[in-house]
Structure 1
Amino acid sequence: MMSHKSTSTLRILATAGVVLFGLASQQAMAHAHLKTETPAANAVVTSSPTELTLGFSEGVEPSFSKVEVNGPDNKPVKTGAFTLAEKDNTQVLIPLPTPLTSGKYQVSWHVVSVDGHKTQGQYIFTVK
């Protein structure tokens, strides 16, 4: 049979474990993860897109975020200003003022979510 002290210690440890798990789960959910992109990752498009659209799991801060595009031969592509969709701070719009030539393009992004967490990533798409 367990003593009262052992039972109390187990309850405290169990409660602490639940609290820590809850905090860890909240932190994992508190980052802006890329959920959608247009053109899509690994897509082959037949015509040059006029803009990139990146959709994140939570709102992002445009002042502290950046999207870069590199084209064939790893050359930087000129883009327009980083903006958010009207009334939706999870949708990033990147204008492509000059038509893209045929080849593979890499989109690299790093964003700061509205709660201050940083995330980054990259994906590719191809223009036929």
Structure 2
Amino acid sequence: MISTRCRGWLVSALILVALAAPGTVWAHCFPERSEPKVGATVNAPQMVRIWFDGALEAGFSTLMVKDHNGKRVDKGDGHVDAKDKKLLEIGVPPLKPDTYHVYWKVVSRDGHRTTGDFPFTVR
């Protein structure tokens, strides 16, 4: 039988081990930066790129760009970069001056899903 004192040490040790485990076990991927930047006014870009803080699952991560009417305007070629698993990108045709919205849905390597969106304006 384990004494009360030993049980206390055992519980404390288990809590410390759980807290010291790598953060990716419970992590979600969130954007670190993007091109164009969130809310920026830019010349027409050829690509929209978002870099995340963790590796993405390519088969479950999507990106799209829509105009102010909600019409999809990207080339439909969104993908996780083969060399940089933290980069999600999509091509866009020459964009007219307007405000556009970028929508992303990603799944991190640990299976957690996050979504978001942001605007940018083409001058």
- The answer to whether TM tops 0.5 is yes
**How far apart, CA to CA, are the structure 1 residues paired with 2:24 and 2:110?**
12
**Which residue is 2:35 aligned to?**
38
Question: 1:11 aligned to 2:15?
Answer: no
Contact residue 109 and residue 121 of structure 1 kept, 8 A: yes
Contact residue 111 and residue 118 of structure 1 kept, 8 A: yes
**Which residue is 1:122 aligned to?**
117
The correspondence of residues 11-90 of structure 1 with structure 2, limited to 5 A, is 11-23=9-21, 25-29=23-27, 31-45=28-42, 47-90=43-86
How many residues are treated as equivalent by the alignment? Answer: 122
Question: 1:100 aligned to 2:95?
Answer: yes
* 4+ residue runs over 4 A deviation: none
Structure 1 stretches lacking a partner, 5+ long: none
**How far apart, CA to CA, are the structure 2 residues paired with 1:127 and 1:32?**
27
Q: Deviations over 1:11-54 (max 9, x none)?
A: 1221122133234844333x332111100111111x11111111
The 3-state SS of whatever aligns with 1:72 is coil
Structure 2 stretches lacking a partner, 5+ long: none
Change (3 A) 1:22 1:116: same
**Which residue is 2:107 aligned to?**
112
Contact residue 25 and residue 110 of structure 2 kept, 8 A: no
Q: What is the one-letter code of the residue matched to 1:14?
A: S
Change (3 A) 1:9 1:115: closer
Q: What RMSD, in angstroms, separates the aligned Cα atoms of the two structures? A: 2.3
Choose between structure 1 and 2: higher helix proportion.
1
The Cα of 1:107 is off from its aligned counterpart by: 0.8
The Cα of 1:82 is off from its aligned counterpart by: 1.6
